[in-house]
Amino acid sequence: MKVEMWSEVTCPWCGLGHHRLERAVERFEHAGEVEVVHHSFPLGGGLPEGSTFSVRETLRRQHGVSDSQAETLTRRIEALAASEGLRPYRVLDNQVGNTDLAHEFLAHASAQGRNNAAWAAIFSAYFGRAEPVFSRDDLLKLADELGLDRAQTRQALLARGYRRQVRDDAARARRLGATGAPFLVVDGRYHVAGAQDSDTLLDLLRTAWDDAHPMVAVPSGETPVCRPEGCVVPGHG
């Protein structure tokens, strides 16, 4: 069963949603049969490259949110994260910037077989340690953490060869109905917007699994015979 999740690197609900999905998969009875794939949904492309801004300043200038409102909104997310085992989870006292290069780094890491690890690492660096993840040097530090070849990663970031892939990722999400992040698709059929709680996600995984593996009723008096290759009802196998 395939679970796809679209996120923005600096979106606090995406970092929390990533954590909640991990917890749901861990509790799922068929966790070993679940493939989780992360995709990019950039929302910070309008910010100038090479500059960073405080979360407070960005909320005030771009969204008209007062400092007191920002305090209330972001501290609520931090408290939710803490209650679910994410400590520390820094939202308000953080910086934001253009995330295009970060998404290209994630696409490169995914091409090296490090999709899940790279997304977990970037969320941990940004929200857990309040480290910047916007410049080439920031991302090369993460490459070292992930065991990626530094020279190869540097070349990929210089060439900007993953720019189209990142855009295509986001375009696909929009075709599926995404208007923001996080956005999940389970088994290509179930679309979920927002950072749903782990219980809701677990129920969704179970529903998708049951739909893909319908139970077959056995007529009364007929007992299935099980062999190494599977179980059959006598006279029907």
Query: CA geometry: angle at 167 spanning 16 and 113, to 5°?
Result: 65
Cα distances from 128 to residues 71, 88, 115, 184, in angstroms, run 18, 5, 19, 23
From residue 89, give the alpha-carbon distance in Å to each of 15, 209, 210.
9, 32, 35
- With DSSP H G I counted as helix, E B as strand and the rest as coil, what are the percentages for the chain, rounded to 5? 50, 15, 35
Assigned architecture for domain 2-212: 3-Layer(aba) Sandwich (3.40)
3-state secondary structure of 14: helix
- State the pLDDT at residue 62: 81
From residue 15, how far is each of 21, 70, 86, 221, 229 by CA, in Å?
A: 10, 18, 10, 52, 42
- 232: part of which helix (H) or strand (E)? strand 230-232
Round to whole Å and give the CA distance between 79 and 71: 12
Residue 214, preceding bond cis, omega within 30 degrees?
no
Residue numbers of the chain with a pLDDT score lower than 70 = 215-237
Q: What pLDDT is stored for residue 44 in this prediction?
A: 74
> What is the spatial distance between Cα 143 and Cα 80, in angstroms, rounded to a whole number?
29
For 175-220, the DSSP string reads HTT-SSSSEEEETTTEEEES---HHHHHHHHHHHHHHHSPPPPPPT
Helix or strand (DSSP H, E) at 111: helix 100-111
Other CB atoms within a 10 A radius of the CB of residue 196 amount to 18
Distance CA 55, CA 61 (A): 10
Q: What is the DSSP string of 133-152?
A: --SHHHHHHHHHHHT--HHH
pTM of the predicted structure, to 2 decimals: 0.87
Domain definitions of the chain by residue range: 2-212
